Amino acid sequence: MSAPDDISLPPLAAGRMHELSGPAALAFALLAARDGAVLITGSPQALSSLDPDGVAALADPRQVTLVPCPVKAEALWAAETALRAGGIETVILITGGTPDLTSLRRLQLAARAGGALGLILSDRPSAASAAETRWLCQPLLSKASAGLGDSTRLHLSLYKNKKGTEGSWIVDVRPDDSYETSLATGGPHSLRVTAAPAGEPLRPGRDRGR
């Protein structure tokens, strides 16, 4: 993926664990993945929805390895091992809820040791988490109808940040001119990413009255 254009979105620091929730969490995780190898682990059910065509819109599927783990403890172990190994740039852990404090600390130490970007995708984020940042990721209607071509549009809310600013952004992701060529040749393509501030961050459950 090419460098973002005019983007004001805070970067996800490598060597740290970040927690993403919401229906667009996987899209943001793939968009945020660093260049190089990406490992995704979680239950077989969670990984069964991933396919190369869907992944290809945001990341190179040839760089992505799926590790299905029927037992949550196995997925945590796989993520920790991959983070610590040093040869994988991004590790994505898909889990039902926020890992407990001990598990998250182990993942944090592993990410720091290996220098990898660690992303936790949580369906049911808890009230507290030891993650470096926490994001609520929501899909928005594409702006294709406005003449901008096919795009992925996200509303990203950074509602916890240990070392920086909180806030929310509207992010538009569009393939650049190399996209059609990449489809024909099987080669990589880059993306054009723009972001605009969107006010105070939303938090999980706020829009449902919890």
CATH number at residue 102: 3.40.50.300
User: What is the pLDDT averaged over residues 94-113?
Assistant: 95
* Residue 57, pLDDT score: 80
Identify the residue whose tokens are 């005019």.
Answer: 6
Q: Which residues contact 148 (CB under 8 A, 6 or more apart)?
A: 172, 174
In this structure, is residue 7 part of a structural domain? no
Within-domain flag for 12: no
Does pLDDT of 89 surpass 80? yes
Number of domains the chain contains: 1
N residues, the chain: 210
pLDDT tens digits, one per residue of 15-70: 999 999 999 999 999 999 988 999 999 999 999 988 888 788 888 888 999 999 99
Q: Amino acid identity of 70? A: P
Nearest residue to 140 (alpha-carbon basis) of 202, 85, 84, 190:
202
What is the SS3 assignment for 127?
coil
Is 208 inside any structural domain? no
pLDDT in the model for residue 150: 55
Query: What does DSSP say about strands 152-161 and 167-175: parallel, antiparallel, or unpaired?
Result: antiparallel
Is residue 112 scored above 50 in pLDDT? yes
In a domain, 210, yes or no: no
DSSP 13: P
Whether 169 is covered by a domain: the verdict is: yes
> What's the pLDDT at 178?
52
For 117-165, what is each residue's pLDDT tens digit? Answer: 999 999 999 988 899 999 999 998 765 534 444 568 899 999 999 988 8
Average pLDDT over the chain reads 84
Q: pTM for the whole thing? A: 0.85
Cβ–Cβ < 8 Å for 109, 130:
no
Residue 5 lies in a domain: no
- HSE toward the beta carbon, residue 176, CA cutoff 13 A: 13
- CA-CA distance, 38 to 36, in Å (whole number)? 7
User: Is the residue at 3 inside a domain?
Assistant: no
Closest CA to 30 of 70, 57, 7, 4: 57
Does some domain include residue 6?
no
pLDDT for residue 143:
53
The pLDDT of residue 190 = 72
Task: Quote the domain boundaries for residue 98.
Answer: 17-202
Question: So what's the pLDDT on residue 21?
Answer: 96
